[in-house]
Structure 1
Amino acid sequence: MALAKPSPTLYVSNLETKTKKPELKASLYSLFTPYGQVIDIVAKKHGGGRGQAFIVFAEQAAATAAMRGLSGEMFYDKELSITYSKSPSNTTLSRLDPSLSRDKAAMEAAKLVVSNAQGEYEQLEKEREADEAALRGEKRDLAEDGDEGGRESKRLRGDTLPEEEDEEEMELDDEDDDDQPSLICSNLPPECNEDIMSALFSQYTGFQSITTFSSPLPKSHPKPNKGSKSFLVRFDNTDNLKKAEGETKGYLMQPGWEMGVSAK
């Protein structure tokens, strides 16, 4: 059988399947990073990807050294099987040509959809506000014409006129739904944003939304790195929240940034 062409991406199989995904990726990173700069690790815990992972190095030489040094190594009581990946990873392609990144293409498409929807929404809001302003103007004119005679009659009788009422109703600030199950995620790198966090949590059933979290962190969270960011992740029910919490606690968005996760 022909060997795969040398590549900076390694295909690793015969992995233990019971370990949680965040722990598995962290352990793989610790195992392979002594051989060179690891820029991505793709490990799936479901479907046909169970027991497999792709380790993406910045340099092909580092990948070759890792394959030679770790093939047959015992990892979680199982012997590692390592070969070159048959095709370059998306991370490698995007480093060579950013326009080839699937994530970037998906993000750009999503931004375009959101931008178009936002433009249509703003136009509808302008039209609605214009219609309401015109309607308020007509009502005001009618009210002023009708009130002049009544006010004059009250003045002649000596009645006290009521204070002028503000025509615009007070707007109540939207309050967060404290009853909705939510996860507090802390110690995220400064470049992390809601789109990146949505990509991470959208794989979990019941995921609802992501917002920035600025309140004090729970004491159970690790001390955050300088300049770190925090987010609030909402779910539809507690069961789905607990599943996501268990699989993402300690997740490494990048080396040295262990994510703190707890239910709000």
Structure 2
Amino acid sequence: MEMQEANQRPEVTPNQTIYINNLNEKVKLDELKKSLNAVFSQFGKIVEVQAFKTLKHKGQAWVVFENADSASSAISKMNEFPFYDKPMRIQFAKTKSDVVAKADGTFVPREKRKRHEEKGGKKKKEQHHDATQMGMPSGYPGLYGAAPPLSQVPYPGGAKPMLPEAPAPPNSILFVQNLPHETAPMILQALFSQYPGFKEVRMVEAKPGIAFVEFADEMQSTVAMHALQGFRIQQNPMLITYAKK
């Protein structure tokens, strides 16, 4: 496997930055960056998310993790995952330092950079790293930790305290719990809209951490529920049941 990957991308070595393309170009830049941060922070601490308005960089983004292990996990779990109705294409970044440095104005051409590093210029990279740290602690489990058993039953096991005592019968509206309180509707829309029959997301302002997602019929809502059950937004795995009517 390693030889095959080396043949495909001989110039790319594992590093802490992933390059994502085939992103939906209609999504606003701020919304896209927030959504990427929410979805990818489950794999480890994110230093920053970079995306640009320029035509040349449309549909692309870079996510800089604190370590390469997090980046590797993100690629293996999220490559080809539908995001805003398009499958993300993800690989290790080829030009991590150039992209990030150009964005923040600290870019130095390669020949000059060598001279700077010889004189102790490595401090610039460390300062950039420290100044932009954000995200969740590393080491969270993978994306689909609880998915296999859930895919074989109509609803999650009744032992979990957050589940209602009497689960609602299958219907077209899903009840989503255990969301981070700052979750924006756009993030849920990006995840659920990839499934046929999606109609809308409704958040409850008075009760952060929950949402209702409506589909055209109960068969379509069931497909989405099983597919996204346990999907992590930041560190929180979504808990999805049918809504009570």
TM bracket (short chain): 0.3 to 0.5
What's the TM-score, normalizing by structure 2? 0.38
Greater relative CO (CA pairs within 8 A, separation 6+): 2
Higher CA-based Rg:
1
